[in-house]
Structure 1
Amino acid sequence: MTEHTPTSPTPPVPHESIDADRIVVLDVVGLQPHHVDDDRTPALAEQFPTDQMTDLRPPFPALTVPAQTTLATGTLPRDHGDVSSGEYDRERDVAELWERDRADRNRIWEYASDEAGLTTGVLNFQHLIGTSADVALTPSPIEDEDNNILEMNCWTNPDGFYDDLREAYGHFPLHSYWGPGASAESSEWILTAAREAVERFDPDLLWVYVPHLDYVGQSDGPEYDAFEAELETVDGLLSSFLDFLAETDRWDDTLLTLVSEYGFHGVDQPVFPNRALREAGLLETADDGDVDIPTSDAFAMVDHQIAHVYADEDVQAEARDAVSGLEGVDEILDEGEKSDYGIDHPNAGDLVLVAEETAWFQYYWWDDRADAPPYATDMDIHKKPGFDPCELFFGEDGLVSLDPTKVGGSHGRVDDSTYGCFGLGGPAASGLEDETVDATAVTPFLEDVLGLE
Structure 2
Amino acid sequence: MIVLDVVGLQPRHLEDGLAPNIERFVDADTVASLEPQFPAVTVPAQTTLATGQTPAEHGDVANGEYDRDEDTAAFWERDRADRNRLWEAASDDADLTTGALFFQHLIGTSADSAVTPSPIEDENNDMIEMDCWTNPEEFYDALREEYGHFPLHNYWGPAANEASSEWILQAARESIDRHDPDLLWVYVPHLDYDAQRHGPRSAELEEAVETVDDMIGEFLEWLETTDRWHETVVNVVNEYGFHSVDTPVFPNRVLREAGLLSVKDDGEGGEEIDLAASRAFAMVDHQVAHVYTDTPEEARHALEDLDGVDAVLGAEGKRKRNLDSPNAGELVLVADSNAWFQYYWWLDDESAPYYATDMDIHAKPGFDPCELFFGDSGLASLDPTKISGSHGRVDEGTYGIYGVGGPAAPELELDNSTVDARDVAPTITDLLGIDDSISLSFDRSSLLQ
TM-score (norm 1): 0.94
- Which residue of structure 1 lines up, in the alignment, with residue 414 of structure 2? 433
Summarize deviations over 1:112-163 as a string: whole Å, max 9, x none: 0011100000000000000000000000000011100000000000000000
SS at match of 1:294: coil
- Counting aligned pairs with the same residue, the percent is 63
1:122 aligns with 2:104: no
One-letter amino acid of the structure 1 residue matched with residue 217 of structure 2: S
Residue-by-residue CA offset, 1:350-372 (whole Å, 9 max, x unaligned):
00000010000000011200110
Give the letter for the 2:380 counterpart. Answer: V
The equivalent of 2:316 in structure 1 is: 336
| 1:41 shift after superposition | 1.2
Aligned residue number for residue 441 of structure 2: none
The equivalent position to 1:384 in structure 2, one of 364, 367, 375, is 364
Letter in 2 for 1:408: S
List aligned pairs for 1:283-432, cutoff 5 A. Answer: 283-288=261-266, 289-312=271-294, 315-429=295-409, 430-432=411-413
- The answer to whether residue 424 in structure 2 is matched with residue 446 in structure 1 is no
Question: Does structure 2 retain, via aligned residues, the 8 Å contact 1:54–1:432?
Answer: no
Q: Which residue number corresponds to residue 274 of structure 1?
A: 252
Task: Give the deviation of 1:37 after TM superposition.
Answer: 4.4
- In 1, Cα distance between the equivalents of 2:138 and 2:185? 20
Match of 1:8 in 2: none
Distance 2:403 2:414 in 1: 11
Please tell me the residue identity of whatever aligns with 1:127. Answer: H
Is it true that 1:183 corresponds to 2:161 in the alignment?
Answer: yes
CA distance in 2, matches of 1:27, 1:407: 23
Over 3 Å counting, the alpha-carbon distance change for 1:306 and 1:38 in structure 2 is closer
Q: 1:40 aligns with which of 1, 14, 18?
A: 18
TM-fit CA distance, 1:425: 1.1
Is residue 164 from structure 1 mapped to residue 142 from structure 2 by the alignment? yes
Q: Which residue of 1 aligns with 2:229?
A: 251
Indicate the residue corresponding to 2:128 in structure 1: 150
Q: Is the 8 A contact 1:37 1:45 kept in 2?
A: no
- Point out where structure 2 has 5 or more consecutive residues left out of the alignment: 437-449
Aligned equivalent of 2:89, options 111, 120, 126: 111
1:163 and 1:217 map into 2 onto residues whose CA distance is 33
Size of the aligned set, in residue pairs, is 429
Unaligned runs of 5+ residues in structure 1 are 1-22
1:432 is displaced (CA, Å) by: 2.3
Farther off after superposition, 38-47 or 262-271: 38-47
Q: What's the counterpart of residue 223 of structure 1?
A: 201
1:133 maps to which of 104, 107, 111: 111
For 1:376, what is the secondary structure of its paired residue?
A: coil
Partner SS state of residue 391, structure 1: helix
Matched residue type, 1:306 = V
- One-letter identity of the residue aligned with 2:317: E
How far does the alpha carbon of each residue in 1:264-297 deviate from its partner, in whole angstroms, 9 at most, with x for none? 0000000000000000011011112111101101
Question: Quick one: distance in 2 between partners of 1:296 and 1:207?
Answer: 41
Residue in 1 that maps onto 2:240: 262
Q: Shift of the alpha carbon at 1:437?
A: 1.0
Letter in 2 for 1:261: E
In the alignment, residue 324 of structure 2 is paired with which amino acid?
D
What is the distance in 1 between the residues matched to 2:195 and 2:246? 13
Q: Cα deviation per residue 1:82-107 (whole Å; 9 max; x = unaligned)?
A: 00000101111111110100000000
Opposite residue 310 of structure 1, the aligned amino acid is: Y
- Cα distance in 2, alignment partners of residues 159 and 183 from structure 1: 27
Correspondence for 2:445: none
1:68 equivalent to 2:46? Answer yes
AA of the residue aligned to 2:220: L
> How far apart, CA to CA, are the structure 1 residues paired with 2:173 and 2:16?
25
Specify the SS of the correspondent of 1:159: coil
